[in-house]
Structure 1
Amino acid sequence: MAATLPRRFTALLALLAVAVAMVPGSPAAAAPNDPEGGSKKLRTALETAAKGYDQAKTKLAASKKRQKQLALTLKSSEASAKALTVQVNEVANRSYQMGRISTVTMLLNSASPDDFIDKVQSLDVLAQVDSGTLAEYQDDIATAKQAQIALDAEIVEQKRQVNVMARKKREAEIALAEVGGGAAGGFISANSPAAQPAPRNSDGSWPKESCTVKDPTSGGCITPRTLHAYQQARADSFKRYTVCWSQRSSGEHPKGRACDFSSATGTFKNSAATGEDKAYGDRLAAYFVKNADELGVMYVIWYRQIWMSGSWRSYSASGGAAAEHTNHVHVSML
């Protein structure tokens, strides 16, 4: 009898747990199961590769911006030096001619004291003009040389960042290949709305953010950038059921850096989206891909595919609609 009671008690607890999980609005019913396909190792590898790719891309953009500025400086300095070449040649000719008749001789041959004063003043002005012209010419030449050296350095930097981007993209592809991920067609639309950009640092990088703002979709918190992406999506008519923060063992959701956008109007369906629901998910995935640079999107997962580092790859996790991402669009933020 003593052994029977604990067994009955355990069975009762199990039934209670199932009942709680089935209550509408509970975390188990409201959001896809954890994990959303893949492993913690895979998600870590994808995050590392995506962040490395984004950092290299940001540095590449900054280098190209510097290159444009340096190109303008080089062009301006070379044009100024070219314009001064005529004056410099005149200074050289004058110096050659003055060398044949010394300045002292010219002054001694003055017809009167006033003539002497006039010649002294003329020579002083001439010397100042010659000195200023030569100094300006030398500055332009020096600036042009420095700009050219800096331009050459930027070209080397750009090649380096392009190589980093290629390496990080390859790392992501290798991580996905281990779970059967290959090239995929993806979801892209030129007609996707343009989102308002999220704030960046002065150097073009993304500010480091933590889970500091209230999540409007749950009782948790999200980052300001995640909130901005969520609000932009809603402003562009993507208003179906969404859950951002949720308590999970890994991934970006508990960090406030991810949202799951249901393809259905009510809540997450436990089946793959079809018809208008599928079309809605396609449009939403394409929207986040088009605005990835503006919003700070790390990767997008939808209908057994993942977008990151500029391309779509297959992402076939085992499990139901939640794991396969056929009932919701998952967006992770940088």
Structure 2
Amino acid sequence: MALAAVLVAPSAAHAAPDDVDIDELNERAEELEETYEGELLQYNEIKERAEQAEEDLEEVEEKLEGSRSSVVQIAAGQYKSSGLDPTLEVLFTASPEHLFQDTSTMEQLGRQQAGRISELVRLQEERKEISEEAEKELSEAEELLDTLEEDREEVEEAIERYEAEQVPEEPEETSGASTGGTVPEHLKGWGFDGATPRMAAIRDEIILNVGSPYEVGCARSSNDDHGTGQACDFMVSVIGTHPSAENRAAGDAIAQYAIDHVDRLGVKYVIWEQRIWHSTNRQWVAMNNRGSVTENHYDHVHISSY
């Protein structure tokens, strides 16, 4: 069928890439995700058609069985009243359409009933063909989804391998790498000492080279990078409020410093003003509105490390 051909065709274009850069991997991942979602919609539509075809076939078969029972009753009545040939008893347990292949039998049992059974037999064959075609399409769609899922997993694994290769060596020191010095006490916020060595090195270097208008908090009990000590929040205003123009510029400078030194420092991603910059795609991407100044990262710059 034409639809089956359309479903199978894309699989050849989705072989997992080898030795490609991260931009190509991310582009392929997005392409596979979109294709998978589209094929999943088609699969669900085909599944509904297959289920409906099966129901239609069962309905016709039930009607056919009902007509067959009627034929048996009519034949039995004819036999009692007019002495129908006893050999018809053999036909009572056979397919009802066979009962009407004999002209005299058709006249005895009624042409109307014979015509109804003949039509039901035709519908049965038609519904059976439709059901078989739908099941075939469903099987092809399932195979395509499996192939796309395998391709998605291969690309995701390639991205993970790439990210793992980008992780720099763990720094030995935790204080400012380029200037030396000590972080002022008033900038040490919640969980300051709970940062990992790498995150502490990133934090201290930014504070000593760029500065921070308000305190910097790091580790806390959570399921994100803060929970593992791999993230710090550089506050640029009182929590829950928008920063002044000067402090907003300071936030820009903090975020840009992390981006400019992403590889050397081991920065994983930066979140600032409802945008995220990830080391894998290296561009700002808008984020969904989370409903508050703090959740949308307008009052602080979030920096995560590997």
Task: Using structure 2 for the length normalisation, give the TM-score.
Answer: 0.41
Higher RCO structure, 1 or 2 (CA under 8 Å, sep 6+): 1
Task: Using structure 1 for the length normalisation, give the TM-score.
Answer: 0.38
Higher helix fraction: Structure 1 or Structure 2? 2
